[in-house]
Structure 1
Amino acid sequence: MRGSAFIMRLVPALLLAGLSLGLGGCLLGPDYVRPTVPTPATFRFEASEAAEVANAMWWEQFGDPVLNDLIAAALADNKDVKIAAARVDQFLGQFVTTRSALFPQINAGFEASRQRSSLAGLPTLPPGVNPIFNEFQAPLSAAWEIDFFGKVRRQTESARASLLATEEGRRATILSLVASVASSYINLRDLDQQLSIAKATTESRAGSVKVFQARFAGGDVSQMELAQSESEYEASLATIPQIETQIAQQEDALSVLLGHNPGPILRGRELTELEVPPVPAGLPSDLLQRRPDLRQAEQNLIAANALIGAARALYFPSISLTGLFGTASGQFSKLFTGPARIWS
């Protein structure tokens, strides 16, 4: 009983001592400081209009509901976005695992074994002692590494920055996907208009060929002029399958962006009916701080900077507090009795 009471008094004291050492411990390595970049105090252009455009879902300004639905489908089904989201979950797990080292690690278990000692070994067993015996244990252990030199805190700082960098990478993937879907859709509508013009031109030149054939039969034009008209018709007719092939390729590429199998794409407004989003005459330079690729690069720099301190801390000893309390007995019926208690 006195041993158990001693442990109960000793453990809180050691935990408080370790906590005070951890809080008062030093952090090795340099703290991250964002590099200073000279920027003008004022901008040449008003930033209100630019902020309004940047904060909105800009693709909706085209006024095409079909384009809005395509982008929504891409955000839901695109494989790259799903991979980026899964990477965020992966780095979140790594951050939680790394950060858990700041807290005591508690383990509980149960062990049962049956052993036989050698009768020919040294030392020999006393006469009458059965060489076969059982052993049962139910230990509860705890260990806590006091982060006196900041190794775990620097590793946690690096893991947090890596997590934020991965999240910015996911945002960059989304922005790139939205821009690619909108651009592909606009190119598709442009090809549709080219196909419509090519068909109209071919039909017009087919009528012209008929006129030249009638005039050639009447002797008004030469055979060369008739051949030139037929050549223009054939050239216009040949462009139609080429544009149709480009349309099919563009539809397949857009289907891949949507995360679907290659197939036809639903059309909305005509190219001439799309509303052109307003583009400000000038954009403030502080918008660069919102670019996810730049923010990702900065978080990667923060993570690498924190690992400097973690590497320096490896030159110093690790200080850990460990404790064990449980029971051990050769008979299961006596495992949870008072004489079976063990502690360290």
Structure 2
Amino acid sequence: MRNSTKWICFGQPSVSWWSYPFSCTGSPPSRPWIRSKCPRVIRFDPDFGYPENTSPQKLRLPSVLTIQFSITEVRNRARNWQTIQNQKDRKEAKMNADPLNLNYRRWGSGKPLIVVHGLFGSAVNWQSIGLRLSQDWTVFALDLRNHGDSPSSADFSYDALVQDLQGFMEQQHIEKAILLGHSLGGKIVMAFADRFPEKAERLIILDIAPRPYPGGHREILKAMIDLDLSRMKSRKEALDALAGSIPALATRQFLLKNLVRGADGRYRWKINLAAIYPHLDELSQGPQLKNQYPNFALFISGSESEYITEEDTGLIRRYYPNARIVIIDGAGHWLHADAQEQTVEAITGFLRSTS
């Protein structure tokens, strides 16, 4: 195993240390000389053996010999290494920016209507509503990356999710579509429409507002990760094992739609939990909107859900001046499951009245 990465810093504070997501022995801000004098941090190869108790001008090779570098040499070497790292970062960013080929289901004919599910969901969850809406529209229900039958990726950022949606529309030769999103899917749709308003004909947002949501399903995700699936002999065992962390039966039943049995007979999660968990903080912050959406938008909430509150209506109007807000009595966060009939009526009524 390679040594832990060491750090050195110099120059003006143009880049924060957390811009370089590499492992290290201790966080750079915990070291006083970095925190107070050198906000710019450069990573050195761990095999180069930079010790913590020497000055930034000294580098120790793995051999007994210690070489004293001048400030100029240190800067030149670090600049060269940083150039290489920047090239690598740009290459990785380009790779991450490429949209994935998302799995999807399609029903009907007419104007395109794209459905984007929420966290832990999939296209399958929208089959009943998709078939209902397909009488008047061509419905595309997507599997997000790391969900359903879509490919996995370590990048689960808003940028990547928005680019996937854009890429899907290009692949299907869709210039403009009605976009429907639930929960996280609603955030993705809002972020997409903010960046590409000309591609978003109308918006339908289910039970989410354009604001941060602290927590972001962290406990649910942790419970799923901690569940020892190797010991599960049946889906019922898994359902019961999650009860201590997730009391709501309906939520557990929904989550277990992601549980499948592999060729070896063992259960596994279809959703890529390991890729999603590191991005929870970003996802909980919500989309960073910059513009007002000029077209019609519909926000639907359940009366038993706290995801859209009375205080959120002003925020919604700020970014969506042509928004309508509908509250379905008795429905919770998964209102498309709790109140499918009322949800379909609200959607179709909105689309027909704004066509």
- TM bucket (normalised to shorter chain) is under 0.3
TM-score (norm 1): 0.19
Higher fraction of strand: 2
TM-score (norm 2): 0.19
